[in-house]
Amino acid sequence: MASRPVSMEATNFATAPNTPAPISPEMQEVGTPLGTPLARGSMYAPLPMGDSGLEPPRASFFDPSSALSTPRDSYADNQSSVNDSSHRLAEGPLVVGGVVGSSEETEAGAAAAPLKKQRSPLVWLGALAVLVAVVLVVALPATLVKKHHSGAASSSSGGGGSGGGNPGTGSPGGSGSGSGSSAIVTGGDGSVITMADGTNFTYSNPFGGFWYYDPEDPFNNNAQPNSWTPPLNTSWDFSTNRIHGVNIGGLFVLEPFITPAIFQPYPDAIDEWTLSTALAADGKLQSTLENHYNTFITEEDIAQIAGAGMNWIRVPIPYWAIETWEGEPFLEKVCWKYIIRLLGWARKYGLRVNLDLHTIPGSQNAFNHSGKFGIVNFLNGVMGVANAQRALSYIRTITEFISEPEWVDLIPIFGIVNEALLKTIGRPQLNAFYLEAHNMMRNITGVGEGKGPYMSVHDGFQGVSSWADFMPGSDRVILDSHPYTAFASPADAPIASGIGAGAGGTWPLKACSSWAKGFNASRKNFGVTIAGEMSAGFNDCGLYLEGVNVPPITSNCGPWQSSAGWSAATKAGVMAFTLASMDALQDYFFWTWKVGNSTAGIVESPLWSYQLGLQEGWIPTDPRMAVGKCAALGVSGSNFDGTYLPWQTGGAGAGTIAATWSSSYGVYPPATISNAGAPATKLPQYTSTGTVGTLPPPTLTASATTVSAGNGWFDASDTAPGVTAIAGCTYPDAWSAVSAAVPTACGTGAGARRAVATPPPVLRREEY
């Protein structure tokens, strides 16, 4: 038997706050073969890997750049040369977690000890005693783990559909398979998962990952998606750990191209607003959307994501998970229990979560995935300030929930506004809003590493280079960019150029030369920078991809709307482009994991489905295959050394924002709102006398009375009221108020408790 790689000791990772200590390989049960799923109370040694030819991904960063337009999403940053990541392949063997030594090492040690030819009776008695002890050690755990767990049985009975799990209970659902009444709480490659609806699947993870779920310990963070990613109960290091993520798009914020079959029966449905209106008219709103929430993404999907070598998911959520206001047709609050269930599955399989607030009252970008297509009314127009008040309220509510000890290590990133349209809103206005949100969040969480999530802001489609001087001295802010080639110009250059080194034509080189230097420069100049969205979609071909009944800019899209006839050269070309994109961006989330079938019974936007690409062969089965892709194309440059300034990752100086920046943007609301026709002080506002919307914690089924789910509100001292309409005020339509008349009885002089700028967080010695 070949020697296994030396294990990655738990001490290589810093223990995350509020979570149990990582599983120690030394505590693997005696007599339990490696790879055997263990029952509750057992410690699990991750399986050995069969991929020793690849190494853990490390930062192989790039050089600075300029800008390339990608109009639908973020403007990409252009470069003429890219990082050479191939040098990383020579740094040493791949290490895995949880395996100590090998049978060969044991045998070698035994051979080195000379044996005496004769043994005394005392030696034989000692040997017998040792044998008895070994038998007891082996037998007792095998007996003790088979105790009856009535709580575990009941917790697996909920759910429905193919999703498994009982939404809202806090249980991700199901368990490992055990004999008799035993409850298996962890397992690795080849372990059988029984979902809550009784169906089974086999967990496939060739990368040393293991799942962990115990109904009696539902917030346990021991799981690990693969050997090179730190378990959830250890801290994430943005300098040395790489994000290989996928988006769970279209699940809680519906998009026509992701779930076309839901939209197709309603020709006038172009966004979730019009879809909800149409479904409600048919009396099908709740039944249709609940069925979608329950079945579109299942536990098996999340297991497959971990098994594909990914380590993060980005989860877009809508504000109507918290509440809706009068006149808004969205299904209020119902999706939250399914969000909780999804978070439970992510925890079970060791996947960290980037939670993204994808919709904002009034729309922050006028795209169909903001809730309503058409007009930006967030920080723009007559209702711009009022809509921003609601947005801050929802950011507050989500921050309070995910900062609780039960969730803080699972959700290290919170994207507070997805793709705000900076060109329409204005940079000063958006800067003031982000400063206000930052101060509010850090007054809730405290300042410094491990205290609540990183705050992620999108680049506003202006490119990462324009954000270099953003909020210096802030506490843990991430810049998120969404680089696509699909929407910039017609993508008519061929990609099916062979299956060898030239696969992909000009597209792989374009990815490397467009993005790598800019992202690396942003890491140096801004701080932590990620690609919250990217894809294999080099063109804009796909049913509803540009919008319902909106034609693509690329010609001859027919062949790209079904992958059934794709040649080996086509798949190799798409693979090469995807690998180059991954290597250029380094920390990324593919958009998206799954695209549903159209009414024709096929996926009609196949370039955007990671799952389909894995199945059909144009997505890598191991994301580390991307390492060195740009260098192989001859694109090279100096490396980012992985060093961030201390304040950028919650160290010394975090939370002490530069005085010049605070003086420029510290007045909130900002004095001027674009396209409003009046000063901000004259615009409609809400009064701060309302009830605060909160997010309920899961209902636990654990029999242990010591397990707490929290109360959904981390900061007990945060008792400020919520926002609500001023009595007697007739507000303009919050979703269509750019050209509206400014009312006279809805502003700060109409009896409202005026919103005032949140003061900077108070820094305390223990926060560093």
pLDDT in tens, 446-458: 999 999 999 999 9
Token digits for 387?
């809509």
Q: Is 192 exposed, middle or buried (0-12, 13-18, 19+ CB in 10 A)?
A: middle
Task: Please tell me whether residue 316 adopts helix, strand or coil conformation.
Answer: strand
145 contacts 41 by C-beta, under 8 angstroms: yes
How many angstroms separate the CA atoms of 420 and 607, rounded? 25
What distance lies between CA 213 and its chain's CA centroid?
A: 20
What average pLDDT does this structure show over 579-594?
A: 98
Give the model's pLDDT for residue 170: 53
Token digits for 584?
């250029």
Cα distances (angstroms) measured from residue 210 to each of 187, 191, 203, 224: 5, 9, 9, 6
25 contacts 7 by C-beta, under 8 angstroms: yes
In the chain, how long is the greatest CA-to-CA distance?
Answer: 105
> DSSP label at 115?
P
pLDDT in tens, 379-394: 999 999 999 999 999 9
Give the model's pLDDT for residue 637: 62
**Domain coordinates in residue numbering, the chain:** 245-724
Beta strands in 90-243, from DSSP E residues, in sequence order: 96-97, 175-176, 184-187, 192-194, 200-202, 211-212
Query: Could you tell me the pTM of the whole model?
Result: 0.81
Give the model's pLDDT for residue 700: 86
**Residue 638 — pLDDT band, cuts 50, 70, 90?**
low
What percent of the chain clears pLDDT 70, i.e. is strictly above it? 74
The distance in angstroms from the start CA to the end CA of the chain is: 48
Q: Is 660 exposed, middle or buried (0-12, 13-18, 19+ CB in 10 A)?
A: exposed
State which of 16-30, 80-94, 462-476 shows the largest mean pLDDT.
462-476
484 contacts 473 by C-beta, under 8 angstroms: no
684 contacts 751 by C-beta, under 8 angstroms: no
Q: Is 753 exposed, middle or buried (0-12, 13-18, 19+ CB in 10 A)?
A: middle
Q: Is 730 exposed, middle or buried (0-12, 13-18, 19+ CB in 10 A)?
A: exposed
Task: Please tell me whether residue 477 adopts helix, strand or coil conformation.
Answer: strand
Pairing of β 76-78 and β 66-68: antiparallel
How many angstroms separate the CA atoms of 680 and 659, rounded? 24
pLDDT in tens, 331-359: 999 999 999 999 999 999 999 999 999 99
Token digits for 282?
């048919």
DSSP assignment of 179-222: STT--EEEE-TTPEEE-TTS-EEE---TTS-BEE--TTSTT---
Among 622, 731, 11, smallest CA distance to 383 is for 731
478 contacts 454 by C-beta, under 8 angstroms: yes
Residue 90 in this model has a pLDDT that exceeds 60? no
How many angstroms separate the CA atoms of 161 and 150, rounded? 23
Token digits for 201?
């699947």
How many angstroms separate the CA atoms of 3 and 19, rounded? 33
Among 38, 344, 95, smallest CA distance to 230 is for 95
How many angstroms separate the CA atoms of 558 and 210, rounded? 41
Residue 103 in this model has a pLDDT that exceeds 50? no
DSSP assignment of 496-544: ---SSTTTTTTHHHHHHHHHHHHHHHHHHHTS-EEEEEE-S-SS--STT
Taking phi over 0 as left and psi of -120 to 50 as alpha, with beta for the rest, 714 belongs to alpha
Q: Report which secondary-structure segment, H or E, holds 293.
A: helix 285-295
Residue with tokens 């200590």: 21
Contacts of 122 (CB under 8 A, 6+ apart): none
pLDDT in tens, 258-283: 999 999 999 999 999 999 999 999 99
687 contacts 752 by C-beta, under 8 angstroms: yes
Classify each residue of 241-278 as buried b or exposed e, where b means 16 or more C-beta atoms within 10 Å of its C-beta.
Answer: bbbbbbbbbbbbbbbbbbbbebbbebeebbbbbbbbeb
**Residue 149 — pLDDT band, cuts 50, 70, 90?**
very low
457 contacts 416 by C-beta, under 8 angstroms: yes
Contacts of 283 (CB under 8 A, 6+ apart): none
Residue 520 in this model has a pLDDT that exceeds 50? yes
Dihedral (CA of 82, 83, 89, 94) sign = negative
How many angstroms separate the CA atoms of 540 and 66, rounded? 24
Residue with tokens 């699940």: 251
**Residue 180 — pLDDT band, cuts 50, 70, 90?**
very low
590 contacts 247 by C-beta, under 8 angstroms: yes
267 contacts 388 by C-beta, under 8 angstroms: no
What average pLDDT does this structure show over 711-734?
A: 96
Give the model's pLDDT for residue 363: 99
Out of 69-78, 413-422, 754-763, pick the least confident.
69-78
What average pLDDT does this structure show over 682-707?
A: 88
Question: CB 597: neighbour CB atoms within 10 A?
Answer: 12
Instruction: Report, at the CATH architecture level, how domain 245-724 is classified.
Output: Alpha-Beta Barrel (3.20)
Angle at alpha carbon of residue 539, lines to 418 and 316, rounded to 5°: 20
Out of 1-15, 190-204, 455-469, 487-501, pick the least confident.
1-15
Give the model's pLDDT for residue 763: 54
How many angstroms separate the CA atoms of 507 and 580, rounded? 9
Out of 125-139, 600-614, 747-761, pick the least confident.
125-139
Give the model's pLDDT for residue 739: 87
How many angstroms separate the CA atoms of 453 and 441, rounded? 9
55 contacts 91 by C-beta, under 8 angstroms: yes
8 contacts 227 by C-beta, under 8 angstroms: yes
Angle at alpha carbon of residue 567, lines to 561 and 570, rounded to 5°: 70
